[in-house]
Amino acid sequence: MTIGHSSESPAATGLSPSRSGARPARTRKPLSDNAYGYLFLAPWLVGLLVFLAGPTLVSLYLSFTDFNLLQPPKWVGAQNYITLFSRDPRYLQALRVTFTYVFTAAPLNLLFALLLALLLNTRIRGISLYRAVYYVPSLLGGSVAIAILWQQIFGLDGVVSQILGFFGVHGSSWVSSPKQALWTLVILHVWQFGSAMIIFLAGLKQIPAELYEAATIDGAGKVHRFWFITLPMLTPVIFFNLVLQIINSFQAFTPAFIISGGKGGPLDSTLFYTLYVYIQGFTNFRMGYASAMGWILLIIIGVFTALAFLSSKYWVHYDDAR
Amino acid sequence: MATSTRTVRVFPFSQLLTHLVLIVGAFCMLYPLLWMIGSSFKPDSEIFTELSPIPRSLDLTNYIRGWVLGSGTSFATFYINSFVVCAGAIIGNLLSCSLAAYAFARIRFKLRGLWFAVMLGTLMLPFHVTVVPQYIIFNALGWTNTFLPLVVPKFFAVDAFFIFLMVQFIRGIPIELEQAAMVDGCNRFQIFTKIILPLLGPALVTTTIFTFIWTYNDFFSQLLYLSTEKHYTVSLGLRLFLDASGQSAWGPMFAMTTLSLVPVILVFAFFQRRLVEGIATTGLKG
Amino acid sequence: MAKQEDQEMAGEAGRLTRRTILVGAGALAASPLLSGVSFAQDATTMRLSWWGSDDRHKKTLALIQLFQSKHPGLSVTPEYGGFVGYQDKLSTEFAGGNAPDVMQVADPGALIAAGRLLALDDYIAAGKIDVSNASKSVLETAKVGGKQYSVPWGLACGCYFLDNQVFEDAKVDIPDYGWTWDEYAKVAKSLSKPGFYGSADIWAAAGTRALAGLEVFLRERQKYAFTPDGKIGFGPDELTEWFTFWDELRKAGAVPPGEVTALETGFETSPIITGKAAMYPINSSIASSLQGLTKHKLTVAPFPTGVGSTALKGDQYGAFVNSSMQVYINADAKDKDLAAAFVNFVLNDPDAAKIQLMARGVPASSKIAELVTPDISPVEQSMVATVKYVADHASAGFVPWPKQGAEVQDLMQRSHQAVAFEQASIADTVSQFFDQAGQILG
């Protein structure tokens, strides 16, 4: 798919020195939108061609082979794809775990991020400090400390067990129980809402202050301003965060990797999709099989992203809408 | 106390409440950090046996043991390497992603929709299935054990995340500004540098913060491409302490992990101020 | 230096021309992925790669210094890091045709099966690698298909770590090295009290020991985990007996329930460290690190022996010594003689041993081990004594794991979990294990 149009990229690069070197002259006919488009896109197109397209196409090819990383791949047709759905209960488990995670962790994360962004967009004392503090969990992301800490909070004598015990719920060790381990990872993801929050904050900052001023002069109240200015103006950023959450939570890897010690346990209860891709590809040396899984994930994410884009026509407000 | 603002009028009581909520929340956010800082002062024999975050004494041994490794290399080398890689990645992302984003957001060119879908598609394939072919490319270019595989691709906008981010922000900038500039005879490059970039502040700041933090914390690609200690970055340096099959040095690991957060927090604190200023002070002519 | 690299970087970026693009696009077609070609390396350099922590890095760098001083003009490039990701990087380097010359390997099965590691038999026969002082039974554990692919870079055995403090407080005697499984169960029960367990379970969430205990148990019954042709080497009866043994201990409160065992993500969070158990089964090589994490005195004991209460010796002694770390040579190493010389150096050089001490477990050469024993800590002495006891009693037989061995071990771990979390009966778990193991082993 990239081959067909790759010829446009060198052409665009070729234009670059001659045109941009010359002084813009009004008499000269301006470049067409097409030329400008590909000119601006040139670095990305080169990057796509050199660094991304090859590995992507190779992984597609590998998904139809038996490839152990060390010997030449052997073509097996659709066998990997058939095995995945017919003979691999762990794969189905990985799908279950991942979908549960995506549909809980992603919306909760967005909700918290938005609420905190709104809260931290007020001008109160120490706002910079608060922002930094609320971003800290996201900084700790893949650190070993998280794994140990999560045990301390959700483990046998952990804070959560103690609090629940106080209310008469005598529970167990959440983080290491097959029934609850996944929920502790959902909580971990919600807790690390910092990145989405920053993007929301940036979005809030981009809303022109004049809009609020005008509305205030017109006598609009707080709630009114929120519904009719803040929220609509923020929709492109909400949309962005939504798409990113879909993509990132389907690909969640690090939390399960560090907290389950890389195995997705106990009893595969935290076997995230990409963790299983990693286990098959690198631990079990089945890169062909892992690639097939990767491409199915691409399709799954692609469908959900497409749905988000289709829906965006109805609720996302762009200033450049014509 | 009652600092009323331009945008939101806040009464002292509700402000107090806001503070209260924020402080309780902050404690939940900070607990792990406090625990890690506490552990960094404990001897190995107490880290896992005594889970209270408060150390018995402020013993700096772990910091001293951790800073200079047995090989004689110090963390100073790792910090310099991390900063070089981060700086390269930030510059690369800012330049290349903003160019691509402008094209996607504002210019109507042929196959725009297709390329945009391809761009998003590059985010959707799990990293682990493309990493081996990618390694083969960089190895063929002779770039292994250099910083090049970690930096050069950023100059070619391989982080589609940031392109998409900037597209969304550019689309939030009123198009009238651009149309006015076009009438004045500005070409696309002039519009891009004189109008879009200055107004893209919040997105550029966000890109800077995220690129720094993600590059700084990234482990797997740095592990793959950097092989000798003089090239090691902070995130690789931190793993030098841990060996699941034998001797591990937990105290120094926690000490250096704590220390490694300082630059990230500083970068964040510095740039988030820019986030505050953002467009609000730029002024817009409606 | 940093500045220089910065410029180099910027320069490269600026020079990215159509040629580079072609190289990039063409690289995949010409890659070893398809052709198996590897890239030539400079003859006067040798790349050496290992994992470890600061202590081992320091000692290995000193080893390299010593080795270089014996080979003027040689420059060894050390490539080292922590354990996490080490094997992934190595696999990627092999896939890219850019692997080190000499290296530690965590999971060599697939590399050996693919012919990417060098068989050392010719070098041993030619006297370039002297194995005369190394234990025959340990050398046996590093053979695959009758060929010697590595020599041990340190010895270890599966063992129990004992928290002496708990034994003392409960007035229970530290068991003899020759203890039986029945005695083990008795000790575990007598040390238990509410919320505290005599022993950790035989599996762990992230551990790699799910097969180690079973192997000992099987060898006592003249069986092995795998057959020489790479199938499962035992039947449902043995596995049922094994699961039942642990299930009874679990129900008696002598080993922890599943959710406590699953808390262990590494030995640092093991129940012996978090104060939940008094005995802990794992590989002996972590001795000094484990001791470093607790103030209680630890000693080492071999795995229990015998069938039931009868201690068995000779051919029926189940515990065995293996190499805690092995050194391998890349089949494409530029200078194989030099690599072999390095292997011989780490195995036999007394000065090298003095530098290494226990950084990779007990030295593989018995002469060398005696030489360094006075220089080590109490827990390491206890480890050395245990390894020696096991080596003296172990029978010679060993069947190497097939390349999917680690995958079967993971399956065994999940099977243990199914029983411990009461997700399936022992009978169902056993039959599922054999089904899925059959699928993995093809």
Domain extent at residue B145: 75-281
Give the model's pLDDT for residue A63.
96
Instruction: Looking at the structure, tell me whether residues A37 and A119 fall in a common domain.
Output: no
C-alpha B148/C-alpha B141 separation (Å) is: 10
C-alpha A266/C-alpha A179 separation (Å) is: 9
Give the model's pLDDT for residue C371.
80
Give the model's pLDDT for residue B116.
95
Give the model's pLDDT for residue A320.
64
CA distances from A84 to A92, A113, A265, C296 (A): 8, 36, 20, 49
C-alpha A19/C-alpha C290 separation (Å) is: 67
Q: Does C312 touch chain A (CB under 8 A)?
A: no
Chain A: nearest CA to B73, how far in angstroms?
22
Q: For residue A176, give the nearest of C16, C33, C205 by CB distance.
A: C205
Asked if A145's CB is within 8 angstroms of B39's CB, the reply is yes
Domain membership of residue B63 (yes or no) is yes
Give the model's pLDDT for residue C408.
92
Give the model's pLDDT for residue A220.
81
Please list the residues that pair with C75 across neighbouring strands: C45
Q: Does C174 touch chain B (CB under 8 A)?
A: no
Domain extent at residue A150: 84-315
How many domains in chain B?
Answer: 2
Residues 6+ apart with CB under 8 A from A171: A161, A164, A165
Please confirm whether the linkage preceding C374 is cis (ω < 30° from 0). Answer: no
C-alpha A174/C-alpha A158 separation (Å) is: 9
Give the model's pLDDT for residue C309.
67
C-alpha B39/C-alpha A143 separation (Å) is: 14
Asked if C292's CB is within 8 angstroms of B243's CB, the reply is no
CB A35 within 8 A of CB A15: yes
Neighbours of A42 (CB within 10 A): 25
Instruction: Looking at the structure, tell me whether residues B89 and B219 fall in a common domain.
Output: yes
Confirm whether C37-154+324-391 and C157-321+404-441 share one CATH topology: yes
Instruction: Looking at the structure, tell me whether residues A288 and A189 fall in a common domain.
Output: yes
Q: Closest chain B residue to A212 measured between Cα atoms?
A: B7
User: Best of C49, C54, C55, C98 to disrupt the B interface by mutation (most B CBs within 10 Å)?
Assistant: C54
Instruction: Looking at the structure, tell me whether residues A173 and A294 fall in a common domain.
Output: yes
Q: Does A294 touch chain B (CB under 8 A)?
A: yes
Task: Tell me how far the alpha carbon of residue A6 is from its chain's centroid.
Answer: 28
Residue pairs between chains B and C whose CB atoms are closer than 8 Å: 186
Domain membership of residue B3 (yes or no) is no
Per-residue burial over B2-33, b if 16 or more Cβ lie within 10 Å, else e, is eeeeebbebeeeebeebeeebeebbeebebbb
Chain A: nearest CA to B22, how far in angstroms?
7
Q: Which of 355-394 (C) contact B at CB < 8 A?
A: 359-361
Residues 6+ apart with CB under 8 A from C243: C415, C416, C419, C426, C429, C430
Q: Does C337 touch chain B (CB under 8 A)?
A: no
Banded model confidence at residue A310, pLDDT cuts 50, 70, 90: very high
Note the pLDDT tens digit of each residue in C62-101.
999 999 999 988 999 999 988 888 999 999 999 998 999 9
Banded model confidence at residue A292, pLDDT cuts 50, 70, 90: very high
Written as tens digits, the pLDDT of chain C (442 aa) is 333 444 433 333 334 444 444 454 455 544 444 443 344 444 588 999 999 888 888 889 999 999 999 998 899 999 998 888 899 999 999 999 899 999 999 888 889 999 999 999 999 999 999 988 887 878 888 888 889 999 888 888 889 999 999 999 999 999 999 899 999 999 999 999 988 999 999 987 655 677 888 988 998 888 899 998 999 999 999 999 999 999 999 999 999 999 888 888 788 888 999 899 999 999 888 888 889 889 999 999 999 988 766 766 666 788 888 888 889 999 999 899 999 999 999 988 888 888 888 888 888 877 788 888 777 889 989 999 999 898 888 876 788 888 888 899 989 999 999 999 999 999 999 999 999 999 999 8
Domain membership of residue B6 (yes or no) is no
Q: Does B53 touch chain A (CB under 8 A)?
A: no
Domain membership of residue A237 (yes or no) is yes
Asked if B26's CB is within 8 angstroms of A33's CB, the reply is no
Mean pLDDT computed over A261-285: 90
Closest among C366, A8, C54 to B68, alpha carbons compared = C54
Domain membership of residue A73 (yes or no) is no
Q: Closest chain A residue to B182 measured between Cα atoms?
A: A30
Domain membership of residue A111 (yes or no) is yes
Chain C: nearest CA to A95, how far in angstroms?
18
DSSP output for C146-176: TEE--EESSEEEEEEEEEHHHHHHTT-PPPP
Banded model confidence at residue A28, pLDDT cuts 50, 70, 90: low
Instruction: Looking at the structure, tell me whether residues A93 and A46 fall in a common domain.
Output: no
Asked if B136's CB is within 8 angstroms of C52's CB, the reply is no
User: Best of A16, A71, A75, A148 to disrupt the C interface by mutation (most C CBs within 10 Å)?
Assistant: A71
Q: Does C91 touch chain A (CB under 8 A)?
A: yes
State residue C176 phi and psi, 5-degree precision: -70, 160
Q: Closest chain C residue to A262 measured between Cα atoms?
A: C206
Q: Which of 100-139 (A) contact B at CB < 8 A?
A: 116, 119-120, 122-125, 127-128, 130-139
C-alpha C192/C-alpha C170 separation (Å) is: 9
Asked if C258's CB is within 8 angstroms of A266's CB, the reply is yes
- Degrees, nearest 5: CA angle B12-B18-B20: 105
3-state secondary structure A178-247: CCCHHHHHHHHHHHCCHHHHHHHHHHHHHCCHHHHHHHHHCCCCHHHHHHHHHHHHHHHHHHHHHHHHHH
Asked if A266's CB is within 8 angstroms of C421's CB, the reply is yes
User: Best of A5, A71, A133 to disrupt the B interface by mutation (most B CBs within 10 Å)?
Assistant: A133
Give the model's pLDDT for residue A106.
94
CATH number at residue B259: 1.10.3720.10
Q: Which of 179-218 (A) contact B at CB < 8 A?
A: 191, 195, 198-199, 201-203, 205-210, 212-213
Asked if A70's CB is within 8 angstroms of C110's CB, the reply is yes
Provide the greatest CA pair distance for chain A: 83
C-alpha C369/C-alpha C392 separation (Å) is: 14
Class of domain C157-321+404-441: alpha beta
C96: left (phi over 0), alpha (psi -120 to 50) or beta: alpha
Instruction: Looking at the structure, tell me whether residues B41 and B81 fall in a common domain.
Output: no
- Give yes or no for residue A322 having a pLDDT over 80: no
Note the pLDDT tens digit of each residue in A116-131.
898 888 777 778 788 8
Banded model confidence at residue A170, pLDDT cuts 50, 70, 90: low
Structure tokens at B190: 């002039």
Residues of B in contact with C2 (CB under 8 A): 80-81, 83-84
Instruction: Looking at the structure, tell me whether residues A31 and A159 fall in a common domain.
Output: no
Residues 6+ apart with CB under 8 A from C357: C59, C372, C375, C376
Asked if A59's CB is within 8 angstroms of B202's CB, the reply is no
C-alpha C75/C-alpha C67 separation (Å) is: 10
Domain membership of residue A151 (yes or no) is yes
Note the pLDDT tens digit of each residue in C390-418.
888 887 678 888 888 889 998 999 999 99
User: What sign does the dihedral C434-C436-C439-C442 (CA atoms) show?
Assistant: negative
Domain membership of residue A218 (yes or no) is yes
Is residue C316 classed as helix, strand or coil in its secondary structure? helix
Domain range summary for chain C, segments of one domain joined by +: 37-154+324-391, 157-321+404-441
C-alpha A149/C-alpha B32 separation (Å) is: 7
Instruction: Looking at the structure, tell me whether residues B167 and B35 fall in a common domain.
Output: no
Per-residue burial over A162-199, b if 16 or more Cβ lie within 10 Å, else e, is eeeeeeeeeebbbbbbbebbbbbbbbbbbbbbbbbbbb
CB C97 within 8 A of CB C37: yes
Instruction: Looking at the structure, tell me whether residues B172 and B60 fall in a common domain.
Output: no
Instruction: Looking at the structure, tell me whether residues A45 and A92 fall in a common domain.
Output: no
Which residue in the block uniquely carries the two structure tokens 């404990």?
B42
Chain C: nearest CA to A218, how far in angstroms?
54
Instruction: Looking at the structure, tell me whether residues B60 and B110 fall in a common domain.
Output: no
Give the model's pLDDT for residue A109.
94
- Give yes or no for residue A18 having a pLDDT over 50: no
Written as tens digits, the pLDDT of chain B (286 aa) is 344 444 445 556 777 887 888 888 888 788 878 888 888 898 888 888 777 778 888 888 899 988 998 888 899 999 999 999 999 999 999 999 999 999 999 999 999 999 999 999 999 999 999 999 999 999 999 999 999 999 999 999 999 999 999 998 898 888 888 889 888 888 889 999 988 998 888 899 999 999 999 999 888 899 999 999 999 999 899 888 877 666 678 888 889 988 998 998 888 888 877 765 544 434 443 3
Closest among A249, A202, A44 to B209, alpha carbons compared = A202
Neighbours of C275 (CB within 10 A): 17
Instruction: Looking at the structure, tell me whether residues B50 and B185 fall in a common domain.
Output: no
- CATH annotation of C37-154+324-391: 3.40.190.10
DSSP 8-state code for residue B194: I
